[in-house]
Amino acid sequence: MFRNQYDTDVTTWSPAGRLFQVEYAMEAVKQGAAAVGLRSTSHVVLATVNKAASDLSSHQRKVFKIDDHIGVAIAGLTADGRVLSRYLRNECINHSFVYESPLPVSRLVVRLADKAQVCTQRSWKRPFGVGLLVAGLDETGAHLYYNCPSGNYFEYQAFAIGSRSQAAKTFMERRFEAFNGYSRDELIKDAIFAIKETLQGEKLTSSICTVAVVGIDEPFHMLDQKTIQEVIDSIEIKEDDASAAAADQAPMQEEDKSSEAAAADQAPMQEEDKSSEAAPMDI
């Protein structure tokens, strides 16, 4: 992307029919630290990489509990994410107050998307610079949504956002068809593994990642460091065994390009379009 004369205002269309300010907002999401979400029929898991601004500072909060049955993970401008989390919490509380029942996830994401759309059509506003993975459970089952700064939202079986998220997506593309049958622990393990993929070589420790679960009979909550470290250790033990035992690449290493192409055609499992022909917000 390059600077041009149509990208100054969010209310200016380009001749190609694109709103560049909105696309730039989505770039901000891609710059943020990675966040992944996975869903089975009974549980949804969110995992994030927590970057710290420096060694002296604390890690940024990227996972927020919205209600007992909904949580979000964010990537991008975390301040925007914090503000939106407050809005989502209010919506849930108001709905519970009036209807004495939890707000269905699909309705919450629509309200969030509408709020984001407003910022794409006012000259005195700017789009939110944060992408949200909304994980929730309601009467219709377990759901994972991705909300874009553009005001679009999609439901996913599994998704990853933020920097180096393609590595996590590739990992999940090979396995997502089995996710519905996964147990809670298998889901957590794959989430942590997906996060590991985004680190690409850096050491994964429980201090730099946050994992949260929501499930049937399990309100949304974050896992403690000890539990996360145990899963990380078990992944690493398996990896050491695999590389020691086999001469060729272990199945967990990403090399399978053919399934990637097949997975890309899957509807409704749509992926973010990296090519510049279609504007990202039109997917």
Contact set with another protein (CB under 8 A): 65, 86, 89-90, 93, 96-97
- Which residue, 157, 148, 176, is CA-closest to 283? 148
Q: Which of 88, 191 has the CB closer to another protein?
A: 88
Q: Closer CB to another protein, residue 85 or residue 170?
A: 85
70-76 and 158-161 beta bridge pairing: unpaired
Provide the minimum distance between the beta carbon of 138 and another protein in the complex, in angstroms, as a whole number. Answer: 18
- The SS3 of residue 166 is helix
Minimum distance between the CB of residue 70 and another protein, rounded to whole angstroms? 12
In the complex, minimum distance from the CB of residue 97 to another protein, in angstroms, rounded to a whole number: 5
Residue closer to another protein, measured from CB, 4 or 90: 90
Cβ-based neighbours of 48, under 8 Å, separated by 6 or more: 33, 34, 35, 36, 62, 63, 73, 75, 195, 209, 210
**Bridge partners (DSSP) listed for residue 215:** 43, 218
Residue 153 C-beta: closest distance to another protein, Å: 23
Mode of pairing for the β-strands spanning 209-215 and 43-49: antiparallel
Is the CB of 35 or the CB of 88 nearer to another protein?
88
